[in-house]
Amino acid sequence: MDKKDFLKWSKKYDKDQGWWTQKEKELGAKFRRTKVLTREDLAQVVEWKFKDAQNKKSKVLEQVAKNDESVLTRISSQVFSVASSDAYRMENLTMLQGVSPVLASVILTFFDPKQYGVFDLHVWKALLGNEPPNLFSTSNYLKLLEAIQKTAKKQNLDARTIEKAFFKKNLDESS
């Protein structure tokens, strides 16, 4: 795909996923402004990611509700405020109860869409081919993120734009 294709597919994602796009913008703006994540924020991230997967959403919401608010604030403040590596950010976020590498990728994407994209099977397939066993690990996200960032740099676009385009194109063409 070229830059025009990435922009076209990303816009198609935004158009077709209106609620998700709006919620992402709201939460991202809040994270950038406050530089912390509350339990309520985390619940909204879970709602965004698992909106159409009721059972999964309920289980994850139950887990994230167990997080101590002060621990959540401390960890998220470090992740959002300290210039650090992607691996450091992922390791810290996944220390929180109920926060998998997938959910951590959503948090980071909302906070910094220029540098991050959501960890998703469709994007993995588009960029890296067949998924390995135990796909949804931090190390695999870092591999995918590197591929997303490399493509974003080459196209002079945000990582999130690249990721949304690959997601939407792969999703539409596989259904």
The number of distinct structural domains making up the chain is 1
pTM for the model stands at 0.95
The parent domain of residue 165 ranges over 3-174
Please give the Cα distance from 22 to 28 (Å, whole number). Answer: 10
Please give the Cα distance from 169 to 123 (Å, whole number). Answer: 9
Please give the Cα distance from 96 to 114 (Å, whole number). Answer: 24
- pLDDT single digits (tens) 26-76: 999 999 999 999 999 999 999 999 998 999 999 999 999 999 999 999 999
Contacts of residue 16, defined as CB under 8 A and 6 or more positions apart, other chains included, come to 168
Would you write out the chain's pLDDT as a tens digit for each of its 175 residues? 999 999 999 999 999 988 899 999 999 999 999 999 999 999 999 999 999 899 999 999 999 999 999 999 999 999 999 888 999 999 999 999 999 999 999 999 999 999 999 999 999 999 999 999 899 999 999 999 999 999 999 999 999 999 999 999 998 988 7
The CA distances from residue 143 to 46, 117, 148, 163, in Å, are 23, 12, 9, 13
Burial of 35 by CB count in 10 Å (0-12 exposed, 13-18 middle, 19+ buried)?
A: middle
